[in-house]
Amino acid sequence: MDIKFLTDVGFLLGSVGFVWGLKRLSSPDTARRGNMIASIGMGLAILSIIFAPLEQGDNNYAWVVAGLAVGAVIGYLMAIKVKMTAMPQMVSIFNGLGGACAVLIAMVELRHFYTGASAMSGGQVAISLTALFIGGIAFTGSMLAWFKLEDWLRDNALVLPRHSIFNMALLAVILVMGIYVFVLKIDAGIGLAAIFMLLALLYGVSFVVPIGGADMPVVISLLNSFSGLSAAAAGLIYGNNFMLVGGILVGASGTILTILMCEAMNRSLLNVLIGGFGGGGAASKGATGDQVVKEVTLNDAAIQLFYSKSVMIVPGYGLAVAQAQKVCKEIDDLLETNGVDVKYAIHPVAGRMPGHMNVLLAEADVPYPKLLDLEDANAALKSTDIVVVVGANDVVNPAALDDPGSPIYGMPVLQVWDAKNTIVLKRSMNPGYAGIQNPLFFMEKTHMLFGDAKATLSKLVSEIKNL
């Protein structure tokens, strides 16, 4: 049977696996199976591409097997060792490596073209330059996002005065140079292509540098779409239908998610693209005067929760850091046994990546119907007896609604102050990831419960069991 036919069938089945798996990923109940289906699809595509070189007479199995072995070992070790709190960092690394692959592919093909080893049409040159541009941004941008997520780089460490103007100017230079290289074709030479690549890599860094901590989920989502688009461009370079389909799926889903995240942050996609995202406005009002917080004891908190009618839990990055999701679910079970209606309020950008809180709670077997999105949660909060905020800060900050000088002003937030009572679990009074103070902590109906989230919730479990 024709090898090309078998390869195309393998690519088709792999693409079906990707589409089917993506569909299953849309619900937490089927996400694990969807991930497995997509993995099987990728495996079929890899097996198919192994036989493709025979058709061209290129017996390069040694390189193929070596690449598979190294990639499999690295991927396996990362998967088994990564902590839930480090999942955003791993996503950033994978996004970056996808972009780096596109850059390498494009540069290799352009080098062959400029040295006369292969012929390229004008369209192929344009596609290669596009892969260089998008892949370069995805690579360096993702690597910088990884540095920020690991707290190896402060948000304002490399920010220039009028940084958004610098980004727009740099973007204009890259686009003009790309057009120039395309017009020159073979006369451009590998040197100009290399300069174009370096500028794209620089723009990836400059693009992510001014973006602040609270906006990082949107950045990761956008860079994910860039990595998909760069993979699609690489697929066009080689005429590989599977790379094209996979890249389009990742690029399209990442773009849709980015738009949804921008709406959740009340930001425009244009601001993200020009790098003017997450900047502050005028000076924030912050906390004024000698404000004090009211603390609640573990026993009082347990009594309030156990004898209330409804409880809303708001998870944040602090819950992820403490790995407290399973203890939180234990409290949920104890309260439900006493007839308390327990729900979870999920902000779209809570955590460090899209869906971070959903993943954590799914790991603790929290039923998906208990998770309320922003609008449903805000509607339910008005009739909620007690809200328990576990390690969240910026997504429950009233400054987003009433402080025009706040960096998060205009962002839709969970209006936990509408509930009858609010208990906030935090390690200390330090500000959240956005670096701003939260007036919620000083409100009349708010009580603080300081300490590590997991340890505090574990003690709360004991107190509830004693009632």
Per the prediction, the chain carries an average pLDDT of 86
**Res. 56 pLDDT band, cuts 50 70 90:** low
Catalytic hit among 394, 403, 418, 452: 394
pLDDT at 461: 95
What is the spatial distance between Cα 85 and Cα 414, in angstroms, rounded to a whole number?
Answer: 22
For 105-146, the pLDDT digits (tens) are 999 999 999 988 888 888 999 999 999 999 999 999 999 988
Task: Identify which of 377, 130, 108 has the alpha carbon closest to the alpha carbon of residue 229.
Answer: 130
Sequence-separated contacts (24+) of 270-273 with Cβ below 8 Å: 272/218, 272/219, 272/222
Instruction: Determine whether 394 is an active site residue.
Output: yes
Lowest-confidence range among 61-65, 145-149, 232-236, 256-260? 61-65
Q: Is pLDDT at 172 greater than 90 in this prediction? A: yes
Between 46 and 104, the more confident residue is 104
* pLDDT reported for residue 59: 64
Q: CA 156, CA 379: separation in Å to the nearest integer?
A: 36
Residue 1: predicted pLDDT: 58
Mean pLDDT over 322-335 rounds to 93
Residue 389 φ/ψ, nearest 5 degrees:
-95, 115
pLDDT at 243 over 70: yes
d(CA 249, CA 231): 10
Query: Three-state DSSP class for 461?
Result: helix
How far is the C-alpha of 392 from the C-alpha of 413, rounded, in Å? 11
For residue 354, which of 152, 127, 91 has the smallest C-alpha distance? 91
Interhelix angle for 189-208 vs 122-149, to 10°?
30
DSSP 322-363: HT-HHHHHHHHHHHHHTT-EEEEE--TT-SSSTTHHHHHHHH
Question: In Å, how far are 87, 185, 439 from 220, measured between CA atoms?
Answer: 11, 34, 28
Backbone angles phi, psi at 404, to 5 degrees: -60, -20
The kind and range of the H/E element at 414 are none
Whole-model pTM: value is 0.79
Question: Is it the case that residue 166 has pLDDT exceeding 70?
Answer: yes
pLDDT at 208 over 80: yes
**pLDDT tier at 53 (50, 70, 90 boundaries)?**
low
Q: Residue 285: its pLDDT value, please?
A: 54
Q: What's the pLDDT tens digit per position in 257-300?
A: 888 888 777 777 776 555 444 444 444 455 545 578 899 999 99
The pLDDT of residue 57 is 55
428 vs 143: which has the higher pLDDT? 143
